[in-house]
Chain A
C-alpha cells in the first residue's frame, strides 16, 4: 500500500458564504466517511486561514519568526487528507471526490516511503 496526501488548495481571496460553507463541510465529511468505510483513510484535518500562520526560519544556529504564510499567494493549503491505497489511479479517484466536495483544486502527492512495498514482497 502507498500513502498519498490530498491537499486542498483553497482560494482565500474568495471565501464561501456561510450557508455554502456548511454544505461544503457536510460534503467533505461524507467523503471522509466513505474513505473510512473503504478502509483507506489515515488522517484528515481542516486548517484555520493563513492569517493565523507564523513562519519560523532557521539561520546561524538560531531562529527568527515572521507573521503570515511562507508565500503570499491567493491559494493556500486549506486542509488535507492522508489516504493509503494500491496505486495512483485509486488516489486520483479519491482526489476527484474531494475536489467536487470542496469545490477547490486538490493536489495529489505520494509520500516518500512509496517504495516501502518491499516489506510485503520480499
Chain B
C-alpha cells in the first residue's frame, strides 16, 4: 500500500476541509496527522475506496471526541463551529472549495513572500518542513519558524478563510499564481541533478492543475498551467549525459514529453479563443511556439515578446526579448536593446551580452562578459555551461 502517495495527495485537501470545520489551521493539521496515524494501523493491506473521505471523517470524529473533553478557548471555539454544521452527512469528505480557500489564505498578500511559499508547500502540498528546507537550501529551523509565524499571523490578524470577492479577485489571484510560478522556477532553475528540486516542479504543476480545475474560467490560471507544462515537457532534454546544461537550440527534441506539449498547446488555444491576454498566457504562447514543429519561428516569438513587454515592462522581459531580436534582426540590434538594462547581480544579462558580442566577433569583450557571468551564476551547472562557452570562444580566437 502506497501510504506516502496517499498522504501526499490527500493531506492538503483534508487539512483544508478540517480548517473550515474547526476554524483553525493548527488544530486541522493535528487531527489530520492523527487520522493518518490511525490509518497506518487500520488500513493494513488496502486503503478504503475513498481515502480522503476516510481521513476527513476520522479526523472530524476524533476532533469532536477530544474537544468535548477540553475546555480551552480554542477547543470551545472549534466545538462551536463543528456543532453549527449539523447537516453534514455522517461520512464527510474533502470539499474542493476548501482547497481554493486555503490557496488564497496561504498566498495572502499580508504574508511575506517567503512565508507564502513555505505555507503553500506545507499545507497544500503536504511537504514536510525538512523537505522544504532541503529544496530551498535553508536550515529546517528557518522554514519551521516561518510557517509558525505565518500561521500565527493568519489567526491573530484575522486573515479570512474564503475565496476573495470579485472586486479583489484579480490582485489576490496574481499572488497565488506568483507563488506557484516561483515554486516551479525554484525547482526548474536549479533542478539539474537534484531529485528534490524536481519534486518542487511536479508539486507546482500538480497545484496549478488543481487551481485550473477549480477556476476554469480564469485565463491567467490556464496560461500559467500551459506555461509550466510546456516548460516541464522540455526538462528531459535540458540536461546532457554528464549533467551539463543543454540550451534550447541544441536540445534533442525527440526527448521532449509529447503528451505535456499537446496538453499545453490545447490550453494555449483555449486562452487565444478567450482573447484576454495576460503575462502568463503570453509566456505560455511563446513556449508553445518554441515547442511547435521542428524549429522555433522566431518572428512569432518576437511579436509575442513585444506584446509581453507592453504588458510587463520589466528588464527581465526586455532581456529575453533581446534573444528573439538577435534571431530575427541579428546580434547588433539585440546588443543595442540590452545596453541600457539594469539588472544588478543577474548572471543572464552578462551571459546574453557575451553571446551577442561573440557573434559580432568582439571576442575580447565577450570573454570579459563571460567572466562576469561566471562570477554571478549561482548554480554549478550553469557555471559549467558558461565556462564551456568561454573556453570554446578562446579556442576559436
Contact = CB atoms under 8 A, between A and B. Distances in A.
A110 B158 contact: yes
Interface in B48-86: 73, 76-77, 80-81
A122 to B, nearest CB: 5
Interface string A89-122: 1011100000000000000001000110110011
A98 to B, nearest CB: 16
A86 interface: yes
A65 to B, nearest CB: 34
A90 to B, nearest CB: 8
Residue of B73, B76, B108, B158 contacting most chain A CB atoms (<10 Å): B158
B156 interface: yes
B168 interface: yes
Residue of A87, A118, A121 contacting most chain B CB atoms (<10 Å): A121
A121 B158 contact: no
Contact of A86 (B81, B160, B168): B160
A110 B152 CA distance: 12
B105 to A, nearest CB: 10
Nearest to A116: B73
B166 interface: no
Contacts of A89: 159-160, 164, 168
Contacts of B110: 88, 92
A118 B168 contact: no
A88 B157 contact: yes
Contact of B81 (A93, A115, A121): A121
A110 B157 CA distance: 5
A101 to B, nearest CB: 19
A84 to B, nearest CB: 11
Given A88-B110, A89-B164, A92-B110, A122 B158 contact: no
A91 B110 CA distance: 11
Nearest to A87: B160
Given A89-B164, A92-B110, A110 B77 contact: no
Contacts of A121: 76-77, 80-81
A42 to B, nearest CB: 15
A108 to B, nearest CB: 8
A89 to B, nearest CB: 5
Contact of B156 (A93, A114, A122): A114
24 contacts: A2-B158, A86-B158, A87-B158, A87-B159, A88-B108, A88-B158, A88-B159, A88-B160, A89-B159, A89-B160, A91-B158, A92-B110, A93-B168, A110-B156, A110-B158, A114-B158, A117-B77, A118-B73, A118-B76, A121-B76, A121-B77, A121-B80, A121-B81, A122-B77
Interface of B: 73, 76-77, 80-81, 108, 110, 156-160, 164, 168
Given A88-B108, A89-B159, A115-B77, 17 more contacts: A2-B158, A86-B160, A87-B158, A87-B159, A87-B160, A88-B110, A88-B158, A89-B168, A92-B110, A110-B156, A110-B157, A110-B158, A114-B157, A118-B76, A118-B77, A118-B80, A122-B77
